[in-house]
Homo-oligomer: A and B are copies of this chain.
C-alpha cells in the first residue's frame, strides 16, 4: 500500500497533526467501590473538548499489528506512521539504544548490554548486584573514553538504568540485516558460562569479531570493578532501513516527545526530533514555534501509558483530562488534519499493554461526523472509520490533507 500511496502524492501547504496519547485505549473498571465502575478510562474522564471534537470528526478504532496481538511501543508507532509492523521490525538492540537517547544510523549495529558478575568463568549475577544508576553512568562514560572504536568501527555507549547500557557499533558503510545474525552472549541463567558469539551468516562475521573484541576490552577495563566485572550482550540488530517519512509521504515531519525512545523511533523514519523536555503545554508551544517549517507534527503524550501500566485507573483518567485541556491550544493552530489516538491500549485493569483496538478520531473538513456523542472506545465502535489497521491512518491523513491524487482514471 505504501508504494501505491507514494505514486499518488501531491504537495500542498496543509498541516497534519498526530497527537498520540500513549496507551490510550482502556477497559471498564471492575472495582465495585469505584465511581468509575463499568466505565473505561476515557469514559470516566471529563473531556469536554475531546467530546465536542468527536461529534464533528470521523471516529473509529485501529488495530496496530493484528487482532489479538499486543504491540510493544515500537510496532505501535510503526503502525501509526503507516509502516506495517509485520514487515518492518525494530530490533531489541536498536530500541534500547533509541530509548537511551542514542541516534541510530543505517551503518549501525546496536546491542543491549548488561554489567554482570563473572567468577571462575561462570556468570554468578546477570545484573551485577543491580548497581546504582549514577555509579554505572560514570563507569559507562569511562568505557566510552577507553574504547572509542575498534578496527575502524566507532563505538557509541549509552548508559541506562542500574546494570543496563547499550552500545552502537558504527561501521563505515551500511550493513545488510544479515550482519546482525549473532546470538546473545547472555546465557539467561546464573551458574553458566557466557556464550561465545557465533555469526549465523557469513555477513555477520565481521560484526561478531568487533563485538567480541569490545567485550574483551570492556572486561579488561572492568577488572577492578567487581561485582561489575563483565559485560553480557543481547539483541544484535541493524537499522530497519524503511523508506523515510519524506520519501514515503513527501512530508517534513517534526516529532515533539519528552521520552528519548519516541524521538528515536521518529528519527528512524527520518523525522526531525530535537531533544525536548517539557509538558504538553510546552510541546504545543514548540509546535507553534516550528509551524511553518514542517508539514507533519507528531506530538507524543506519555503519561496515559505510564499510569495504565501502574494499574492507576484514576491517574490515567486525570492524564486524559490533562490532554483534554490542551486540545484548544492545538486546535488554535488550525491544522488541516488533526488525528487524536494512542499507539496501543494500556487498560489500567490489566496493568499492561493489550491487544484491544485503539480509539481514534480524525478531524478534517470532509468527514461525515455527527455519529458519535463522545470520544470513547464504545462510541468509536460505531464510528464512521470502523475498525481499521493502524497503517490505514496515514493514507487517511494524507487524503484529508488533500495530498493524494486520484488513483486511476
Contacts and interface: CB of A to CB of B under 8 A. Distances in A.
Interface in A349-386: 349-350, 352-356, 365-371, 377-378, 381-386
A404 B366 contact: no
B366 A408 contact: no
A370 B38 contact: yes
Interface stretch (A60-68, A180-188, A207-215, A284-292): A60-68
A366 B350 contact: yes
Contacts of A407: 65, 69-72, 75, 85
A8 interface: yes
A404 B72 contact: no
A394 B394 CA distance: 28
Report how many copies the assembly holds.
2
Given A347-B366, A368-B28, A66 B382 contact: no
A8 B408 contact: no
B69 A395 contact: yes
Contact of A381 (B75, B356, B384): B384
User: What secondary structure prevails in chain A residues at the interface with B?
Assistant: loop
Nearest to A99: B409
Contact of A409 (B74, B366, B382): B74
A350 B368 CA distance: 13
Interface stretch (A88-96, A118-126, A167-175, A295-303): A88-96
A247 to B, nearest CB: 18
B406 A72 contact: yes
A332 interface: no
Given A28-B370, A67-B395, A381-B386, 7 more contacts: A5-B69, A27-B367, A67-B388, A68-B397, A75-B408, A85-B408, A382-B382
